[in-house]
A and B are shown apart, each in its own frame.
Chain A
Amino acid sequence: MAITRIKGGKIYDPTNGINGEVRDIWIKDGKIIAPPIEADILPEKVIDATGRIIMPGGVDMHCHIAGPKVNLARKMRPEDKRYAPHVSRTALTRSGTIGSVPSTFATGYLYAGLGYTTAFDAAVPPLSARHAHEELQDTPIIDKGFYLLMGNNHYALEQIAKKDYEKLNSFTAWLLESAKGYAIKLVNPGGVEVWKSGGANISEIDQDIGHFNCTPRQIIQGLSQTAMDIGLPHAVHIHCNNLGIPGNWRTTQATMDALEGRRAHLTHIQFHSYGGEPDDQGKFCSKVQELAEFVNSHPEVTVDVGQVLFGETTSMTGDGPLGYYLHKVTGKKWTSADTEMEAGCGIVPMVYKEKSFVNALQWAIGLEWYLLVKDPWQIAMSTDHPNGGSFLAYPEIIQLLMDRTYRQEILKRVHPRVLERSCLKDLDREYTLNEIAIITRAGPARMLGLKNKGHLGIGADGDVTIYNESSNILAMFELPYMVIKYGKVVVEKSEIRLQVPGNTLHVSPSFDPGLVGGIRKWFESYYTIQFENYPVTDEYLSGGGTMIPCSKK
């Protein structure tokens, strides 16, 4: 019975309505427990958090940290790491490279060092799930999982075209179980398949997807309903059509409308909130106000931001045609990798510059989102790591949100036209610590349906971050005083103290086994591996894995 007591810290636990109260936290066998009433129970470890801030461990609900495209980006970009800081080997920990796409061990250490204890990779082709799991096993400390690319999956598209939702639901459940995935991800629904079939793209959600005889709208509706029908803990996770294209806010609006009240999460919404015309950069402007209004009146919809930060990074996406678009815009090297029956992928080096009007407006649009969504429970912090910037920039974003003077200073420095095309200069909202705790842990955990994460109530996982209270927000969030994972101190004074494996979080929704025969027949007609060799077995789950239950219909 390992009991730890964290004494005297100021607690921010928004899920349980605790906003800066001084309380003790007790953890036993990795879980939060009520403070024992019996005076004779002595904790094995007492951590003095007097004068410090305590939050649940951070939860990153959208990043790219494992699997084939992440590894292709590592292979493609030695220049990204050559002069970058690195992670040195210690007697306890492995070495690694950082750059915009850190190696696996480095990823685990860096997240933990930042006070994050859970992270989800947002785009894995099911055929490569085994690869993603192997990388997650080598990504220590944090709990982790991934979403499965399904918005261009041939079997799903066929069922949607036939309106056979029974089969769609069973297939989705079977696929999640086979790949040991966590949620349904749509990436440019239908558009990637159009790109793979000849190099074009989709620009409207009612456009026909060639040979599949269905539309993005039908995919969005079909799979958002499936996520609800099979009781997944997380809603459908949507990367809309037309990412990055001026004028795409109409597509985003149409996508939101198409949901017709269904639960959904719209990801890296910053990249989907642009006014203007596709071929006229001169009219490029923010349309966050229009879109945020929708979110503010639709509690069933949540978003994460995909904040852009200035500097060098790598764009990596399941949106194959977007990769080509970025290659043409930037002229930089380009990797594209398509997966049979399932998905696409694009990777391009990126630089976001303060003095670029487009980049500066992207930066401002991200901040507008944080400041214009009224209920912080509906918006999660993300950079779409590494697309908008590294997850290592989260403290910088926190500073931008909590300190409007700092924000205005940067705004003065960037391309001047941003002042006219964005309302950022008029937004004087400042986030409180409680709101930061919501958008970095409590909110994402709730969106993901993780009942034991993102809070410090009884029964929650003992994932705790202790910060030094400071007026220097950046320093406070960059270097937590201590990070605790399942009740054990894993980070202290910026050093890894204990290397635990971290658990892979996955779902196992039920499905009609009678329909697997049909899936098998389709599979055997088109895939190049054996049906029996497709499912990922339990030995690939980090820390033995944790199955997150689905709700009953």
Chain B
Amino acid sequence: MQNELKVVSNATCTFCGCVCDDIELTVEGNHITKAKNACVLGKAWFLNHEAGEGPIARIRGKEATVEEAVEEAARILVDAKFPIIYGLSDTTCEAQRVTVAIADWVGASIDTTTSVCHGPSGMAFQGVGEITCSLGEVRNRADLVIFWGSNPAESHPRHWGRYSTMPKGLFVPNGRKDRTVVLVDVRRTKSAPAADIFLQIKPRKDFEVLWMLRALVKGLTINEADLIDTGVTLEQLQNLVDRMKACKFGVLFFGMGLSMTRGKHLNVEAALALARDLNAFTRFYANPMRGHGNVTGADNVVSWQTGYPFGVNLGRGYPRFNPGEFTTTDTLARKEADAAMIIASDPMGNFSQAAREHLASIPYIALDTKETSTTRAAAVAFTTATYGINVPGTVYRMDDVPIPLRPAFESPYPSDEKILRALEKKVLHLLQAKLQASN
């Protein structure tokens, strides 16, 4: 039994939004010893995987049975006046679907890590729409690939090799040789050497540069003086515009360098509008570089169940959407939420001090595969199995393509979905009892 060797082919890496599904895992007992095809991040994800330690469930730090913990978690959610549920970008769609159900039953806010990464991109999309495509379209057709505010060499190491710049495709048979690669960023990142053109713009000038590009695409006259403080020259921009208009298939991949810097959704609106405008000349696309393995799935699940992508409140018995009002950092910093459930995320490690302080002051439930600063301060904490390594299910790649997971081995811990299903059942039970009591 021990250290039985097995190979899992076509396994999916959920570390980043690339969601590479061509990984070949060699599994010895409860360890993955090889992760063929995985990048440095993927290898770290698979090879360093350790099943969590300690009990499955804890109530205020003390070991408890799953039943007790589920009961306590349900009670916290049902008793709350303004519960919030947050996280979800590192779990399966199956678990996300149950989570939105729980949010609905208890009238919670449901929000995902999208609100602190590409939430502004979602809002920009609502403003102007979006011309997008699956990554295979880029692979097979793109002859101009622009990265803006994104550093794929470090954040999405296989993006270039698998999807965007290197691979040979139907209409780009020579791969990299058939493409021009442009990088726009405020600093010379590790991605810069691999680009044909690198434009270093001044920090907080993304919007201005994008807007000037739009003007040039439209044929308006721009003066050198208009570009003061942007870090780029008119010649550089005109050159880029000429390339954008002349390419057969252009794509602009944008990262959090655009969505989370000054201007936020306005920056992304400018990028989306630029790509849209270029369709008067050629085919041009704009795609977000999404980070977490299934943050795109979270957007999709929350959208199909509520009609809105993130920052949704169900407190009135139906979905309402308002980023800023119903997004988690805000509801916490304003001390509105009186209970929370955090799934596969560590807000105690990365939220603002005001948000963290309030979260620490209210009862909350945490589900994670390992101990984090969030699970440590939770009223009820569950240790769960890792999606993709122990748990099957569905994840959505950054381009909305749904991909199945092929787990390597079973975990001693239950999946998020299993805990959440038990919690949903208990919540419904308590709500029914409450209803009967009030009648």
B-contacting residues of A (Cβ < 8 Å)?
66, 68, 70-72, 74-79, 81-82, 86-89, 91, 94-97, 99, 101-106, 127-128, 130-131, 134-135, 138, 154, 195-199, 324, 327, 333-341, 347-348, 526-530, 532-533, 537
Closest chain A residue to B122, Cβ basis? A75
| B contact residues around A89 at 8 Å (CB) | 104-105, 107, 314, 317-318
Judging by beta carbons under 8 Å apart, are B131 and A335 in contact? yes
- Does B29 make an interface contact (CB < 8 A)? no
Judging by beta carbons under 8 Å apart, are B404 and A130 in contact? yes
| B contact residues around A526 at 8 Å (CB) | 136, 139-140, 169-170
* Contact segment of B77-85, B226-234, B258-266, B296-304: B296-304
Option from A74, A105, A336, A341 in Cβ contact (under 8 Å) with B136: A341
A-contacting residues of B (Cβ < 8 Å)?
9-10, 12, 21-22, 93, 97, 101, 104-105, 107, 122, 125-137, 139-141, 162-163, 169-171, 248, 276, 279, 281-283, 285, 299-301, 303-309, 314, 317-319, 321, 394, 396-397, 400-404, 431-432, 435
Judging by beta carbons under 8 Å apart, are B137 and A97 in contact? no
Judging by beta carbons under 8 Å apart, are B135 and A71 in contact? no
A184 to B71, CA, bound (A): 49
| B contact residues around A195 at 8 Å (CB) | 283
Q: Could you name 18 residue pairs across A and B whose Cβ atoms are closer than 8 Å?
A: A71-B304, A76-B130, A89-B317, A91-B431, A95-B318, A97-B306, A103-B307, A105-B305, A134-B304, A196-B283, A197-B171, A197-B248, A198-B248, A333-B127, A336-B131, A526-B136, A528-B162, A529-B401
| B contact residues around A348 at 8 Å (CB) | 129
Closest chain B residue to A107, Cβ basis? B304
Judging by beta carbons under 8 Å apart, are B404 and A75 in contact? no
| B contact residues around A337 at 8 Å (CB) | 130, 132-134, 400
Could you tell me the distance in whole angstroms from the C-beta of A153 to the nearest C-beta in chain B?
A: 13
| A contact residues around B401 at 8 Å (CB) | 127-128, 528-529
Contacts A134-B304, A340-B135, A528-B163 known; list 14 others, CB within 8 Å.
A71-B303, A76-B125, A130-B394, A138-B304, A154-B170, A195-B283, A333-B129, A334-B128, A336-B131, A339-B134, A339-B137, A340-B140, A527-B136, A528-B135
| A contact residues around B139 at 8 Å (CB) | 340, 526, 528
Closest chain A residue to B299, Cβ basis? A75
| A contact residues around B125 at 8 Å (CB) | 75-76, 335
Could you tell me the distance in whole angstroms from the C-beta of A142 to the nearest C-beta in chain B?
A: 15
Judging by beta carbons under 8 Å apart, are A128 and B400 in contact? yes
Judging by beta carbons under 8 Å apart, are B22 and A530 in contact? yes
Which applies to chain A's interface (DSSP): helix, strand, loop or mixed? mixed
A87 to B318, CA, bound (A): 6
Could you tell me the distance in whole angstroms from the C-beta of B234 to the nearest C-beta in chain A?
A: 27
Judging by beta carbons under 8 Å apart, are A74 and B307 in contact? yes
Given known pairs A339-B137, A526-B140, the reply for A533 and B305 (CB within 8 Å) is no
| A contact residues around B141 at 8 Å (CB) | 196-197
Judging by beta carbons under 8 Å apart, are B134 and A340 in contact? yes
A348 to B169, CA, bound (A): 30
A348 to B128, CA, bound (A): 10
Could you tell me the distance in whole angstroms from the C-beta of B286 to the nearest C-beta in chain A?
A: 10
A94 to B107, CA, bound (A): 11
Closest chain B residue to A324, Cβ basis? B279
Closest chain B residue to A339, Cβ basis? B134
Could you tell me the distance in whole angstroms from the C-beta of B159 to the nearest C-beta in chain A?
A: 11
Judging by beta carbons under 8 Å apart, are B140 and A135 in contact? no
- Of A66, A68, A101, A347, the most chain B CB neighbours within 10 A belong to A68
Judging by beta carbons under 8 Å apart, are B308 and A74 in contact? yes
A106 to B304, CA, bound (A): 10
Could you tell me the distance in whole angstroms from the C-beta of A354 to the nearest C-beta in chain B?
A: 27
Could you tell me the distance in whole angstroms from the C-beta of B124 to the nearest C-beta in chain A?
A: 10
Judging by beta carbons under 8 Å apart, are B400 and A68 in contact? yes
A334 to B278, CA, bound (A): 13
Judging by beta carbons under 8 Å apart, are A104 and B432 in contact? no
Could you tell me the distance in whole angstroms from the C-beta of A269 to the nearest C-beta in chain B?
A: 28
Judging by beta carbons under 8 Å apart, are B394 and A134 in contact? yes
Judging by beta carbons under 8 Å apart, are A78 and B308 in contact? yes
Judging by beta carbons under 8 Å apart, are A94 and B101 in contact? yes
Give the 10 A-B CB pairs with smallest separation, nearest first: A340-B136, A97-B307, A333-B129, A86-B318, A338-B133, A130-B402, A528-B136, A335-B129, A334-B129, A103-B307
Given known pairs A68-B400, A341-B136, the reply for A95 and B314 (CB within 8 Å) is yes
| B contact residues around A99 at 8 Å (CB) | 307
Given known pairs A95-B319, A532-B9, the reply for A76 and B133 (CB within 8 Å) is no
A527 to B404, CA, bound (A): 16
A416 to B21, CA, bound (A): 59
Could you tell me the distance in whole angstroms from the C-beta of B324 to the nearest C-beta in chain A?
A: 13
Given known pairs A131-B402, A529-B21, the reply for A91 and B126 (CB within 8 Å) is no
Option from A68, A79, A88 in Cβ contact (under 8 Å) with B317: A88
A66 to B140, CA, bound (A): 27
Closest chain B residue to A347, Cβ basis? B129
Option from A103, A154, A336 in Cβ contact (under 8 Å) with B304: A103
Judging by beta carbons under 8 Å apart, are B126 and A77 in contact? yes
Closest chain A residue to B404, Cβ basis? A533
Judging by beta carbons under 8 Å apart, are A103 and B10 in contact? no
- Of B141, B301, B401, B432, the most chain A CB neighbours within 10 A belong to B401
Judging by beta carbons under 8 Å apart, are A75 and B126 in contact? yes
Could you tell me the distance in whole angstroms from the C-beta of A13 to the nearest C-beta in chain B?
A: 35
A138 to B93, CA, bound (A): 12
Could you tell me the distance in whole angstroms from the C-beta of B312 to the nearest C-beta in chain A?
A: 10
Could you tell me the distance in whole angstroms from the C-beta of B141 to the nearest C-beta in chain A?
A: 8
Closest chain A residue to B171, Cβ basis? A197
| A contact residues around B9 at 8 Å (CB) | 532
Judging by beta carbons under 8 Å apart, are A78 and B319 in contact? no
Judging by beta carbons under 8 Å apart, are B136 and A533 in contact? no
A134 to B331, CA, bound (A): 30
Option from A104, A335, A530 in Cβ contact (under 8 Å) with B130: A335
Judging by beta carbons under 8 Å apart, are A199 and B126 in contact? no
A340 to B140, CA, bound (A): 8
Judging by beta carbons under 8 Å apart, are A86 and B319 in contact? yes
Judging by beta carbons under 8 Å apart, are B306 and A96 in contact? yes
A202 to B423, CA, bound (A): 54
